[in-house]
A and B are shown apart, each in its own frame.
Chain A
Amino acid sequence: MSQATAEVAATSRRWRRFRRNPTAAVGLAIVALVVLAAIFAPWISPYPDHVGAVVNFRARHQPPSAHYWLGTDNVGRDILTRVLFGYRISLILAATVLIFAVPVGVVLGLLAGYFGGWTETIIMRANDIALAIPPLVMALAVTTVLTPSLVHSMLAIAALWWTWHTRLIFSIVRTLRQQEFVEAAKTLGASRFHILFRELLPNCASAILVKTSLDFGFVILVGAALSYLGLGVQPPTPDLGTMVASGADFLPERWWESLFPGAAILVAALGFNLLGDGLRDLFDVESV
C-alpha cells in the first residue's frame, strides 16, 4: 500500500464508516437519548416530586392525556416521570455491575489464557461452575439471605456476570498468544505485566467494548426481571421492572401502566444491542 493511500486518518475513516452503518447509528442515538433522559430526569420530567412517596388519588389510573403524557399509575403518579427516573436506576445498576464484572472477568481471562497450565485449569473450572448457576436463581438466593434491595440484586448479578467476560478474553488470548508480536515481546525482555496489559489487553479492547455495550442491555433486562419478582428495587423508588409488575394487576383496561415501562425497558435494551452490534461490524471490518 503506498504511503499516500495510507495517509487517511484512522479516526475519520472509522467515523465515516460508523455513520454509514445504520445499526450503529440508530443504537447510538437511542442510547444517547436514554442516557440523557436519565441524567436530566429531574429537570425534564413534568412531575419530579412523583418519584417519592406521593399519593395523588384524584388522578389515579388516568389514561395518557395532555396532562400526563403516559398516564398515571394506581396511586396517581405520572408514569412518564417515573419512567425517566426508572432509567436512572437501570443505568446505575448496569454500570455498577459492569464496573465490577468487566475488570474482574477480563483480568481472569488474561491470566488463564496467557499462563495456561494450573492457572488456566483453576480459573476456567471455577468459571464453568459459575456459568452453571442461573443468575435469577442466584439473585433469589442472595436476596433471600440478605434483604431485597438494589444493592443486593447488583451484588447477585455481578457475582456471576464476570464469567462471560473471562470466557471471551480467554479464547481471544489463547489465539493471540501464538502471534509473533507476543513472542517478540518475550524475547525483548518485556515483563509479564507488560505482555498481559500492554500487548495483549489492547488487542482485546474492541471485543470488550462490544461485549460491554451488549451487556448493558442484558443487565438492564435481568435487573428489570428481578424487580418484577420483587427482589430488586423496593417501592417507592421508581424502577421499570417494578412498574411493569404493579401495572400488570390492572391489565388489560389500564394498559398504559405496564406497557410504557415495559416499552422503556425494551427501548433501552434494544439501543444497547444495536450499538454493540454496530460496533462489532465496525471492528470486524478493521480487523480483516
Chain B
Amino acid sequence: MSEEPLLAVERLSIDFETEGRVAHILREVSLEVPARRHVALVGESGCGKSVTMRAIMGLLTTPPAKFRGGEIRFDGANLLRLSGREREALRGTAMSMVFQDPTSSLNPVFTIGDQMGSILKYADRRLKRSRNAVERKARIAEVLGQVRMADPERISRAYPVMLSGGMRQRILIAMALLSEPRLLIADEPGTALDVTTQAQILKLLRELVEARGLALLMITHNLGVVRESADHVFVMYAGCVVEQGPTHAVFAKPRHPYTRALMACIPKLSGGGAMRGIDGSLPDYSAPPPGCRFEPRCPLAVSACLKAPPHFEVAQGQSAACWRLEATE
C-alpha cells in the first residue's frame, strides 16, 4: 500500500544570504515521514539538518533564508504555499516539536502546570477549541501520564529547577503532545542526558509512536541512537541527503562512501579495530563543489563525481546518491 506519507519534503533547496555572500545550505533535500513510523535525520554538525528541521516547522526567517525550490508537504498540503497565519495554525497543533536542551527550554520562573497550561491555551485557540481550567488540568494530567510521569499533581506545581534532567525531557515531550499532534519532531532527544536516562527517553518515544500512531522525525548526530530507535534513516552531508533506507539495512550495509566513513569513525563497544577519522572538512557553502559535495573528501572520487549524482536504489527501500556504488557492494 503506497500511502502518501504524513510529511514529505521534496527536493528542498535553501540559500542563506548574509553580508553579500550567498551560502547554498540545502540542495534538493528529500525525506518522508509516514504515520506510525520513527524516522531519523542524521548528520554531523553543519550538515543542514537543523535548517531542514526549522524549514519544516516554519521557523526560518526569510531573509536571510531564501527558498530556492522544492516542497514541504504535510498531509498533502504544500506548507511553503500557505500563508504565515495558516502555517502558524499548524505549528504546535498538528505538528509539534520537542526541543533539545531540557534545561534551557523551560522557563525557570513558571511552574510546569503554568507553562503547560499556556501552551494548551494557545493550541486550543488555534484549533478553535475551548477548554475550561478543569478540562485543561485533566488534559495536562493525561499527557503527563502518557510520558510515564507519576503524580501529575505534584509535577504541575513544581518549578523546572526542582526536577531532574530526565523528568524535564519528559515534560518537553508532554508539552509537545498536548495538542494531539500527528507529527512530532524531536531535536537531539536525550543528548544532554546520561546514557541510562537517554535509553529511557528513547524507549518512551518508541512507545508513543507505536501506541499512539504518531509520526516521529528525530534529528540527531548520534548514529547509535538512530540504530536503537529509528525505523528509517536519512543520512545528510553538506546539505544533501546522501543515503536513506530502513535502519537495519543501512547499518548492516551502508553504501554511500560518507556513510561508510562515518560508521568507521565510531568506536566499537566490542573493542578492536582502530577508529578512523575523515580527512578534510565541510565545503564552503558559498562555493560548494559543483557535483557531489562529498567528492573532495571521498576516497572513491572520480571525474564523474564532478556532476551531482542522483539517488540510485541499492536494495529494497534503500538508496544512495553516488556514482561509485559498485565499489561499495
Any A CB within 8 A of the CB of B283: yes
A1 touches B19 (CB 8 A): no
Any A CB within 8 A of the CB of B285: yes
Counting chain A CB atoms within 10 Å of each CB, the highest count among B46, B284, B286, B287 belongs to B284
Chain B, 17-53, CB within 8 A of any chain A CB: 19, 23, 46
B19 touches A5 (CB 8 A): no
B46 touches A4 (CB 8 A): no
Any B CB within 8 A of the CB of A13: yes
Residues of A contacting B283 with CB < 8 Å?
A: 2, 4
How many residues of B sit at the interface, in one of the four size bands? 10 to 19
Residues of A contacting B287 with CB < 8 Å?
A: 4
Distance between Cα atoms of A47 and B219 in the complex (Å):
73
Write the B276-298 contact mask toward A (1 if CB under 8 angstroms, else 0): 00000111111100000000000
A4 touches B19 (CB 8 A): no
Any B CB within 8 A of the CB of A287: no
Chain A, 1-38, CB within 8 A of any chain B CB: 1-5, 13, 16-17
Of all chain B residues, the one with the shortest Cβ separation from A13 is: B19
Nearest-Cβ distance from residue B280 to partner chain A, whole angstroms:
9
Residues of A contacting B281 with CB < 8 Å?
A: 2-3
A16 touches B46 (CB 8 A): no
Distance between Cα atoms of A1 and B46 in the complex (Å):
7
Majority secondary structure, B binding face: loop
Nearest-Cβ distance from residue B63 to partner chain A, whole angstroms:
14
Of all chain A residues, the one with the shortest Cβ separation from B45 is: A1
Distance between Cα atoms of A16 and B23 in the complex (Å):
18
A16 touches B284 (CB 8 A): no
Residues of B contacting A3 with CB < 8 Å?
A: 281
Distance between Cα atoms of A2 and B281 in the complex (Å):
6
Residues of B contacting A5 with CB < 8 Å?
A: 23, 284-286
Nearest-Cβ distance from residue B62 to partner chain A, whole angstroms:
19
Residues of A contacting B284 with CB < 8 Å?
A: 2, 4-5
Distance between Cα atoms of A3 and B287 in the complex (Å):
13
Chain B, 166-212, CB within 8 A of any chain A CB: none
Nearest-Cβ distance from residue A1 to partner chain B, whole angstroms:
7
Distance between Cα atoms of A13 and B19 in the complex (Å):
9
Residues of B contacting A4 with CB < 8 Å?
A: 283-284, 287
Distance between Cα atoms of A1 and B282 in the complex (Å):
8
Chain B, 135-181, CB within 8 A of any chain A CB: none
Residues of B contacting A1 with CB < 8 Å?
A: 46
Nearest-Cβ distance from residue A258 to partner chain B, whole angstroms:
46
Distance between Cα atoms of A13 and B283 in the complex (Å):
21
A2 touches B282 (CB 8 A): yes
Chain B, 252-297, CB within 8 A of any chain A CB: 281-287
Residues of B contacting A2 with CB < 8 Å?
A: 46, 281-285
Distance between Cα atoms of A5 and B19 in the complex (Å):
13
Distance between Cα atoms of A1 and B44 in the complex (Å):
12
Of all chain A residues, the one with the shortest Cβ separation from B284 is: A4
Chain A, 219-249, CB within 8 A of any chain B CB: none
Residues of A contacting B19 with CB < 8 Å?
A: 13, 16-17
Distance between Cα atoms of A170 and B87 in the complex (Å):
46
Counting chain B CB atoms within 10 Å of each CB, the highest count among A1, A13, A17 belongs to A1
Of all chain A residues, the one with the shortest Cβ separation from B20 is: A16
- Other contacts beyond A2-B283, A16-B19, A17-B19: 15, CB < 8 A: A1-B46, A2-B46, A2-B281, A2-B282, A2-B284, A2-B285, A3-B281, A4-B283, A4-B284, A4-B287, A5-B23, A5-B284, A5-B285, A5-B286, A13-B19
A-B contact pairs, 6 of them (CB 8 A): A1-B46, A2-B283, A2-B285, A5-B23, A5-B285, A5-B286
Q: Interface residues, chain B, CB within 8 Å of chain A? A: 19, 23, 46, 281-287
